[in-house]
Structure 1
Amino acid sequence: MMGLAAIQAATDSFSDQNKLGEGGFGTVYKGRLAEGKEIAVKRLSETSGQGIVELANEVTLIAKLQHRNIVTLLGCCLEQSEKLLVYEYMPNKSLDIVLFDSSKSARLDCKTRLKIVHGVARGLLYLHEDSRLKIIHRDLKASNILLDDDMNPKISDFGMARIFGDNQIDANTNKVAGTYGYMAPEYAMEGIFSMKSDVYSFGVLVLEIISGTKSSCSHSTEPDASIQQAWKLWSQGRALELMDASVAESSDADRVLKCIHIGLLCVQENAENRPSMTSVVVMLGGNSTELPRPIEPMSSAGRALSLSVSDEPLL
């Protein structure tokens, strides 16, 4: 736990000058502790859909995780009416802020984008297989990937994450929580989530990182146009045209093509056809060009979603 007074002093009483960003959960502020350490404070608003259950879930999970590609939780505070989470400060903020801003995206050259893909893959593998817990993130997206001063990625925001038992394959919920465009079909339509639904989200993220284009599915009845475009170019042997034009000249063609191929494998309609994160990390790091051929991904048109920002906890 961390005292409210210390957090208020660190953030200059949550001044607007220290505001890093905001979302449905509330606002994130930059701060500096008395000893000089920089922090990021996630302050949940009273109207936030992410309530005490999700906050407790995030604290319980992330406090047990230690990996270079997982954000570090430094403390929390539940004094008075405040609900605060204190994290290590990430000077380059979140991936979406850089990736989807044409004035900033050139900072992400090809080498850096590939580093981010590899880092997120290793972090997700840790959650699924290598940590003391088997964790399904359920909300992997560009805004939940933070970047340190060397542009190393760190997975953040575990409010929707769930712990699986050692032999558990999947789980079902009647309250789907997440973000349009990143949801696996079985999760969006049937509420079934698993490691393979996280793999789907990772695949969408990979295609976004390579293309610099945000997933275009913003409603349940819209097709995943960005995924369909990636498939069309790949199947026609023109996959490199997907690469963000601002960094195309710096591209490592073979590695970019491999990432696009792996991204398409991860967004397969049938969860059983998607690779595990173990396989993904092996494919990303290996020299073999012999990868399984993906099947044309489905359109999401006609999906019937019922989104909610909360869910029954499994903790």
Structure 2
Amino acid sequence: MRHIKVGTRQSSLALTQTNWVCSQLESIYPGLNIETEKIVTKGDRILEVTLSKVGGKGLFVKEIEQALLDKTVDFAVHSMKDMPAEMPEGLIIAAVPEREDPRDVLISRDGRTFSELPKGAKVGTSSLRRAAQLKAARPDLEILPLRGNIDTRLRKLEEEGLDAIILAAAGLSRMGWLNRATERLSVDICIPAVGQGALAIQCRADDEDMIDLLAALEHQATRLEVRAERAFLGKLNGGCQVPIGGYAEYHDQTVSLRGIVGTPDGETLLKDFAEGDNPEELGLLMAEKLLEKGARKILADVREELKS
């Protein structure tokens, strides 16, 4: 077995995810020697502003992808929701393991659920997707920016006078902290980010040995769901400056997909639902449906604003 290097962000969650992948591979291939290479990304360096103001795509993956292209690492472990719809030539997502719960969760300071939060409650999140949907469901809430790793956000819940924060169930679960969640938010209230809860294991497209090795971690149903969601995102050409969510489920040879596009202020929220047996076609169909409903103007307005 060759000596293998895996690239990852250096946050506790990223390392936990990467260690899980490595342990799965080592259990399948005894004697495998994997070394972890911690890489700092642009999204990790800029913490004082919201992601929507940082701009650009691939804020948490570009430096790691460059390490793959430079052959300083052999494969990488990413959170799928951090992956742009398009990736650099020469790289592929070689495996998509089984997905964790993709939903968002509410963690409140006093154990109140979303509907029980008092009028004017302060809720922390820097995700435009989450903020827009929370505002649509509860216009009375005050949404405040919240950046940092999971443990930092949990600490800020206590230190910054917030009534609640919103996090991904998957990250809490992987860290063993899901007991901190007050409520798992229904997708009727908050549709998750595209790819949320799934991992993307990436390598070079010409590294056949690595592709064969990583294939053992593939989960077909999760791959189909992610293909539909990412096709939807790719058609919209969306980044973190626009509230976009996509949630696919695979059952009985059929993929269902919920999609959402909103204005950053949450005043307009476009939703739709579709199902089919071809994930990419389903994602494109969902995008077209929302574009016709008004998403085209929302996206154009946001891009025009970014130019000014």
Normalised TM-score (structure 2) = 0.28
Q: Which of structures 1 and 2 has the larger relative contact order (alpha carbons within 8 angstroms, sep 6+)? A: 2
